Structure 1
Amino acid sequence: MGFILQVFQQLTGINAIMFYAPVLFQTMGFKNDASLLSAVITGTVNAISTFMGIVIVDRVGRKPLLLQAAVQMFICQVAIGIILLKDLHLTNSLNHTVAIVVVILVCAYVAGFAWSWGPLGWLIPSEIFPIETRSAGFSFAVCSNMLFTFLIAQAFLSTLCHLKAGIFFFFAMWILIMGTFVVFFLPETKGVPIDQMTERVWKKHWLWARFMAEETNRV
């Protein structure tokens, strides 16, 4: 679970959004200041949304937050992909009004990532392991994140060159897979102490409890 959440965090497509942001701001007339402005705006949205996630995560739970953000990010990715596929020409220019819409979609996407898959991709793996294996398990999760950050970064440019605007549909497909995984396979860890994680979470899950049956019988 720790491995999959870290991989999914990279497959949300946050790199695609961040890559296109300076180009989108250039189309709005900011020219040489586009990269700086895009970094400031997306960074501000990211910081504020992360703080919002900290405030609400223990109120609404992990799974609802992940699912809400998956829907939000999916809609934004598909909408951006459609707009760029339809309106982004060889000159890399967009109509001013359309560009503003895309920038709003970018901010909405970054906000959804920042209050869900971004921080929760780290929080949940830190919670789900029993005390006996927590250090080893979380270390494995962190290594998985570093590995797939490297792999996706290496493959991103060539994928972008081949798919162009279609890369947003590619990541939208992964977000759909991620949401489905959360619905059926991710247990809710809200309010569960780490020392009770096995008994209250894994042994009560419809699938993962099967892997705990032998241990339960011995007890």
Structure 2
Amino acid sequence: MLISLIRLTQAVPLFLSEIAPAHLRGGLNILFQLNVTIGILVAELVNYGALKVKPWGWRISLSLAGVPGVVLTLGSFLLVETPNSLVERGYVEEAKSVLRRIRGTDNIHAEFEDLVEASNTAKQVKHPFRNLIKRRNLPQLVITCCLQFFQQFTGINAIMFYAPVIFKTLGFGDDASLYSSVITGGVNVLSTLVSVYSVDKIGRKMLLLEACVQMFISQVAIAILLAHGFKDGQTTLPTSSAIPVVVLICVFVSAFAWSWGPLGWLIASEIFPLETRSAGQSVTVCVNMVFTFVIAQAFLSMLCSFEYGIFLFFASWVVIMGLFTIFFIPETKGIPIEEMEMVWRQHWFWKKIVPDDMPGHGATNEKALELKNVKVAPGEVA
């Protein structure tokens, strides 16, 4: 089951990025994350209900996990191959047909030519993973790995995995702690909807930066409330402090859910060239799973050792994330996926890394053409 989940995490963002038109790519891709958050919420509701069924309620939770697997299996028969995949395997006419169908127009010549040129470049690469460490792919590799590292060091999985433990520590009972984790799951779903609506309007970078500010403020405020509430050897938090802490945790979860959660997968799936796209997504999933494991294993020990300081620890990482976003993450909104190499040529820092002879594909829309004439200041991208 875990292996299937990892494969889906690798394949679905790539599939969505390759079939989506540039101006809708962000919102359509984040629908994947939206369904993940809905699944988390449903699982929490099932667990809450199963708790009432004694002594075999846990069997309900385990058995219902098979339902999504059946739905995914049946749904896979309705999917089409992406035009990129078809062109790369030599099914040119079928690729044209699929591209016409998903775009809803016969005017696909320019986009299709870009796909063919990208495919020709990709066929020259015999070792995609070895190619990842070449200079032309270093910006994508660094950003992808950092996004996954930072995503976990926001502290989100620590909170989501151990929400019942945290809320019980705050003074809630066993039932109330599960109920509180359901609340955070609901906030997660609603906030991801915000990202679906806004990511292609205000851009990836703005969402990341706004979330850094919101997460930092909420985590520092939580630390202050916990430091004040647990003084004098108290083992539970007073209601006057516990309720604001729950609210602030929801504020934190909402910020993550419309930014670093979905955008960590979206940006990684859209910045790699075709020849290293699958290999790059594999690295993305691997790095994410490694640091998910690290945080999950370390959090309880860190909570016992740091106490309220654990939130200051994650808040300090949020500051680093914000600085990294300002200076090193380019804006990819509205840029065709096969024209993404122009981003690195225009970025104030990455243009020093990528080689001058980096292969390119002619710009196919106004946004890509405009990039050629825009001067970019440090910390910004066209």
Give the TM-score normalised by structure 2.
0.54
Correspondence list, 1:1-219, <5 A: 1-18=143-160, 21-22=163-164, 25-26=167-168, 30-89=172-231, 90-199=233-342, 201-216=343-358
| Contact 2:157 2:292 (8 Å CA) reproduced | no
Residue 134 of structure 1 deviates from its aligned partner by: 0.9
CA distance in 1, matches of 2:188, 2:286: 24
Change (3 A) 1:140 1:25: closer
Residue 157 of structure 1 deviates from its aligned partner by: 2.1
CA distance in 1, matches of 2:211, 2:144: 19
Residue 97 of structure 1 deviates from its aligned partner by: 2.1
Change (3 A) 1:20 1:76: farther
Aligned to 2:7: none
| Contact 1:62 1:189 (8 Å CA) reproduced | yes
CA distance in 2, matches of 1:65, 1:124: 12
Q: Which runs of 5+ in 1 are unaligned?
A: none
- The farther-off stretch of 114-123 and 97-106 is 97-106
Give, as a single letter, the amino acid of the residue that structure 1 aligns with 2:337.
Answer: I
Residue 183 of structure 1 deviates from its aligned partner by: 0.2
Aligned to 2:99: none
Change (3 A) 1:212 1:34: same
Q: Which runs of 5+ in 2 are unaligned?
A: 1-142, 362-382
CA distance in 2, matches of 1:169, 1:72: 14
Residue 36 of structure 1 deviates from its aligned partner by: 1.7
Give, as a single letter, the amino acid of the residue that structure 2 aligns with 1:14.
Answer: I
CA distance in 1, matches of 2:313, 2:235: 21
Change (3 A) 1:164 1:29: closer
Residue 168 of structure 1 deviates from its aligned partner by: 0.4
CA distance in 1, matches of 2:253, 2:340: 31
CA distance in 2, matches of 1:20, 1:97: 22
Residue 30 of structure 1 deviates from its aligned partner by: 4.8
Give, as a single letter, the amino acid of the residue that structure 1 aligns with 2:239.
Answer: H
- Post-superposition CA distance 1:27-71 (Å, at most 9, x none): 787523122211210000001111111111111100000000000
CA distance in 1, matches of 2:170, 2:155: 23
**Greater C-alpha Rg:** 2
Give the TM-score normalised by structure 1.
0.92
Compare relative contact order (CA 8 Å, sep 6+) and give the higher one, 1 or 2.
1
CA distance in 1, matches of 2:209, 2:171: 36
Say how many residue pairs are matched.
Answer: 218
Task: Name the SS of the counterpart of 2:213 in structure 1.
Answer: helix
| Contact 2:171 2:238 (8 Å CA) reproduced | no
CA distance in 1, matches of 2:247, 2:279: 41
CA distance in 2, matches of 1:77, 1:210: 36
| Contact 1:27 1:99 (8 Å CA) reproduced | no
Residue 19 of structure 1 deviates from its aligned partner by: 5.9
Change (3 A) 1:133 1:55: same
